[in-house]
């Protein structure tokens, strides 16, 4: 019996921070180890180029870094297919055929696209590639006949657009070649999103408020000690506030079941007064190092042989291309344009 297919990936625009790790990467490793799905994980470099076309070197450098993060976190190329989007030319051809099934007006109505265009400040100079990337995303998903696509709630319009394209194609050409995917979404809007060290709702490279899987111990310590806590908690004896305090937020995220009682006791003590921020941060540092230390060590080991890392990506891309080529062949046959 064929396993259901899951497709997931990242835009390689830098190293992955721990928000990526708890939001998606950790779950991918869990899905991989469960062995109930066929997992495809890809580096969406073509998608990243839609707004980094004049800075391709950032994407090129990020490929190796993100691949290291994947391997260090536990993704195993023997169990999951890890590949680079741009190395699968079939995806571009599929995108071209799908473009004929989607109107410009429909793309412009896509809420996710509208939001991201505003965020990036394109104004009237929207790159065509950026505008049509929902179609390219549909090609990514359908090329591997993905049954499930884990994404954030903000990506629901993108999944719905893919589903529309699948229905349109299958109806137009009287076929069932393409598989209509289902999105896997967090249970609530904030699930899977780790706030930045400064309390900002978004952890990002541009804001400089993130902890990265590649950070060494000294860097991790400096970042933890700089975390936002409670601006009114000036003296140790003062009662402190838990809500909005990033130290306790991170403790809740990274604490294990055996830590729950200690974390609750620390919260109670902090709220009553008599517990300083330095002590809470040192405790968080221990919790984070327990989680991130082994990942850092594995990352350093893999980084010693980047040739092997790129060979892994090459082999994964070859496997992915073979699957995409088969789907493309079926698509062209359904359209009646496979001439010989």
Q: How far apart are CA 174 and CA 12, in angstroms?
A: 37
Residue 86 is labelled as binding a ligand: no
Residue 140 is labelled as binding a ligand: yes
Residue 154 is labelled as binding a ligand: yes
Residue 54 is labelled as binding a ligand: no
Residue 76 is labelled as binding a ligand: no
Which DSSP string corresponds to 174-228? T---SPPPEEE--SSTTTT-PPPTTS-S---TTTT---BTT--HHHHHHHHHT--
- Between the alpha carbon of residue 311 and those of residues 13, 100, 154, 259, 290, the distances in Å are 21, 36, 34, 40, 30
- Name the DSSP letter for residue 2: P
Q: Which of 18, 26, 23 is nearest to 193 (CA)?
A: 23
Residue 176 is labelled as binding a ligand: no
- Region at 83 (left for phi over 0; alpha for psi -120 to 50; beta for the rest): beta
49 touches 56 (CB < 8 A): yes
- Name the DSSP letter for residue 17: B
Residue 120 is labelled as binding a ligand: no
Residue 202 is labelled as binding a ligand: yes
Residue 152 is labelled as binding a ligand: yes
> Scanning the structure block, which residue is given the tokens 């950026």?
130
Residue 4 is labelled as binding a ligand: no
Residue 190 is labelled as binding a ligand: no
Residue 103 is labelled as binding a ligand: no
> Scanning the structure block, which residue is given the tokens 């051809």?
93
Residue 194 is labelled as binding a ligand: yes
End-to-end Cα distance, the chain: 32
Residues annotated in a binding site: 11-13, 19-20, 140, 152-154, 194, 202-206
Residues annotated in a binding site for ATP: 11-13, 19-20, 152-154, 194, 202-206
Residues annotated in a binding site for L-tryptophan: 140
């Amino acid at each position: 019996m064929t396993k259901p297919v899951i497709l997931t990936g990242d835009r390689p625009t830098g190293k992955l921070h721990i928000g990526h790790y708890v939001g998606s990467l950790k779950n991918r490793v869990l899905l991989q180890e469960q062995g109930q799905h066929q997992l495809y994980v890809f580096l969406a470099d073509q998608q990243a180029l839609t707004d980094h076309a004049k800075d391709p070197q950032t994407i090129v450098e990020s490929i190796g870094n993100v691949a290291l993060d994947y391997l260090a976190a536990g993704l195993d190329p023997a169990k999951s297919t890890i590949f680079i989007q741009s190395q699968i030319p079939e995806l571009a051809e599929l995108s071209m055929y799908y473009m004929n099934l989607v109107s410009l007006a429909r793309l412009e109505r896509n809420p996710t696209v509208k939001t991201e265009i505003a965020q990036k400040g394109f104004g009237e100079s929207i790159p065509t590639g950026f505008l049509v990337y929902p179609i390219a995303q549909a090609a990514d998903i359908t090329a591997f006949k993905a049954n499930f696509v884990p994404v954030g709630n903000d990506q629901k319009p993108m999944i719905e657009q893919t589903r529309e394209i699948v229905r349109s194609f299958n109806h137009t050409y009287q076929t069932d070649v393409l598989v209509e995917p289902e999105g896997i979404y967090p249970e609530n809007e904030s699930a899977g999103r780790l706030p930045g060290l400064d309390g900002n709702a978004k952890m990002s490279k541009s804001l400089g408020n993130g902890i990265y899987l590649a950070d060494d111990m000294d860097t991790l310590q400096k970042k933890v000690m700089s975390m936002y806590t409670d601006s009114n908690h000036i003296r140790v004896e003062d009662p402190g506030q838990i809500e909005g305090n990033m130290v306790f937020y991170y403790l809740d995220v990274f604490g294990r079941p055996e830590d729950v009682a200690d974390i609750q006791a620390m919260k109670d003590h902090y709220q009553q007064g008599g517990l300083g921020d330095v002590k809470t941060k040192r405790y968080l540092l221990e919790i984070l190092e327990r989680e991130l230390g082994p990942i850092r060590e594995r990352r350093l080991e893999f980084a010693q042989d980047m040739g092997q890392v790129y060979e892994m990506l090459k082999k994964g891309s070859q496997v992915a291309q073979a699957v995409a080529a088969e789907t493309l062949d079926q698509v062209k046959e359904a359209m009646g344009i496979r001439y010989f």
